[in-house]
Structure 1
Amino acid sequence: MPIDAAKALAAEARSTTIAWDHKDIQLYHLGIGAGVPATDPDELRYTLESRLHVLPSFATVAGAGMGVVGGLSAPGIEIDLAAVLHGAQAVTLHRPIPVRGEALSTSKVAAVYDKGKAAVLVLRTEAADADGPLWTSDAQIFVRGEGGFGGERGPSGRTEQPDRAPDHVVERPVREDQALLYRLSGDWNPLHADPSFAELAGFDRPILHGLCTYGITLKAVVDTLLGGEVARVRSYTTRFTGVVFPGETLRVRMWAGEGRVQVSVTAVERDDAPVLSDTLVEYV
């Protein structure tokens, strides 16, 4: 069988040193739509090196996202990448991410679940620098056609949406070239740039990276409810439920609670088609 769950879980974690500086941070922020209007003081905290703060979702691209790549090449994991879907993402911050840093990134397969028609791999990446842990990132990867091996089904991960109107609704336009800019942070999958490749994958044009939508959404929450204070974010979890096409508009609905914000994201031009669900930002 292509996935040997026992072997994958028993494999030693893989470690590599990653580094970043202000240029990586600025490129990532531009890739998720920061800098509009260009001279807005609230936007300069994402784009100007002398005022720079790091949005926590940067953890998903630090080191060009090599943690997920390492997990997919772990012992016991032999799969067709065409059958792989990014199902969910979570990042837990242990302290604010510095503008310039070097860290040891350690990745492993933390769980393998049997969903019947698909297997789910939980790829965990932990980053730490000389001062201690920085973040923990969990990517849930669906592998179609690899279920049915008799393993645990795993948690559902569903979050019940409040039965009331959202406290805040904001819209965020996605530029036509957003995917082309975002991919410079390390995800070179041609699905997001090459129309011919996208057609082979079943789309009439390239789609936006799910993790780009993930970053756009966190920025919207931080700017709307946290006064732009990125260091207040403690964790951020979502489930990817639909695609986004460059040029569309995201509608971000927020339900505020004590130390937490529940979020849903839809595509405006496609009758509010779901994009992100079961989304939760926890903060201090």
Structure 2
Amino acid sequence: MSGPGAGHEFPAQEVSWLKRDVLLFANSIGATSKELHFLYELHPNFAVFPTYPIILSFKHTDQEVTDFYARSKATPIPGVPNFDARRVVDGQRKITVFKQLPTSSAGRKFELRNRVVGVYDKGKASVVETEQSIVDARSGEVYATVASSAFYVEQGGWGGPKGPATPNYPPPQGRKPDAVNEIQTTAETAHLYRLNGDYNPLHATPEPGQKMGFGGVIIHGLYSWNATARVVLEAFGGSDPANFREFQARFASPVRPGDKLTTEMWRTGDSVDGFDEVRFVVKNQKGQVVLSNGRALIRGKKGAKL
């Protein structure tokens, strides 16, 4: 780890959630009645969908709507410029789940611990890579880690390091997918998803997206990311959160309200600690890739099909 900002730790942030938050999240990413354990609090196997930790960096402890721009004025990172959070988009996210969250944080204290991995100058833009951990504050046990890269549009050229190349996980060539799924978004998809705590106006009203060159509203990249995680777990892990270890994807192009998202998924035959590697790509109705570099580690039966 080297370069400006690397290793900097932000102050720990308390996070909390209710069963209601867990149900809302599952609804917002398209869980169906076949996955009632994510949608019904009295189900004997009621569980948090395993990517939920990723929303806690937006939600913190709040139940009420928050001012996204005010909150995004993060603690400055030593040695790098102060970037404008009004012009930032997600680059890539990867979650590793070590232990399932309880369905409510009541009676417990959880913290989000966030450190800078690196800050890179890409010329026209800057990339800030961080690693966030959801931790039981009393025991120190880590439930999940999220590696994130934030892409600050038109905020490069300050002379920082270019940074390392990220590993690529292309889908297998010349093979039909082992599973395919289609998701139809609507004009309101992002309005439901933002209630999880991710209140960026870019996803609610046209003006910010017009200023950023997107032409209007775009759906949260993390909506597509989380909805795809649900699809992959259903296809290969029987929708069982215990079968979910790791999930990552790169945000390749914006998703617009009403887009149809097709996820193509392949098993590679490789496994890590008993979890099978799945690679995937998500395209819109025009065939344009919206999530690339898709890789998951899912435990499941070899013969499992959609």
Partner of 1:139: 148
Distance between the aligned counterparts of 1:147 and 1:138, measured in 2?
Answer: 24
Q: State whether structure 2 residue 61 is matched by structure 1 residue 44.
A: no
Of 53, 60, 65, the residue aligned with 2:54 is: 60
Partner of 2:25: 28
CA separation of 1:148 and 1:157: change in aligned 2, threshold 3 A: farther
Distance between the aligned counterparts of 1:278 and 1:87, measured in 2?
Answer: 11
Contact 2:83 2:155 (C-alpha < 8 Å) held by counterparts: no
Partner of 2:304: none
Q: Deviations over 1:181-230 (max 9, x none)?
A: 11111111111111233333333431110000011100001111111112
CA separation of 1:147 and 1:124: change in aligned 2, threshold 3 A: farther
Q: Deviations over 1:49-91 (max 9, x none)?
A: 112222221111125355x967943333501224322100011
C-alpha displacement at 1:12, in angstroms?
3.6
Partner of 2:168: 158
Moved more, 192-201 or 259-268: 192-201
CA separation of 1:234 and 1:127: change in aligned 2, threshold 3 A: same
Distance between the aligned counterparts of 1:234 and 1:225, measured in 2?
Answer: 12
Contact 2:124 2:157 (C-alpha < 8 Å) held by counterparts: yes
Counterpart secondary structure, 2:38: helix
Distance between the aligned counterparts of 1:90 and 1:65, measured in 2?
Answer: 18
Partner of 1:81: 85
Moved more, 72-81 or 18-27: 72-81
TM-score, structure 2 normalization: 0.82
Of 1, 10, 15, the residue aligned with 2:12 is: 15
Structure 1 residue identity aligned to 2:283: T
Pairwise CA RMSD:
2.2
Partner of 1:237: 248
Distance between the aligned counterparts of 2:7 and 2:290, measured in 1?
Answer: 34
Of 96, 115, 119, the residue aligned with 2:122 is: 115
**Identity between Structure 1 and Structure 2 (%):** 27
Of 216, 219, 224, the residue aligned with 1:205 is: 216
* Number of residue pairs the alignment of both structures matches: 271
CA separation of 1:117 and 1:196: change in aligned 2, threshold 3 A: closer
More helix by share: 1
- What stretches of structure 1 of length at least 5 have no aligned partner? none
Distance between the aligned counterparts of 2:185 and 2:126, measured in 1?
Answer: 32
Of 230, 243, 246, the residue aligned with 1:219 is: 230
Distance between the aligned counterparts of 2:92 and 2:59, measured in 1?
Answer: 15
Of 241, 260, 263, the residue aligned with 2:277 is: 260
Contact 1:127 1:136 (C-alpha < 8 Å) held by counterparts: yes
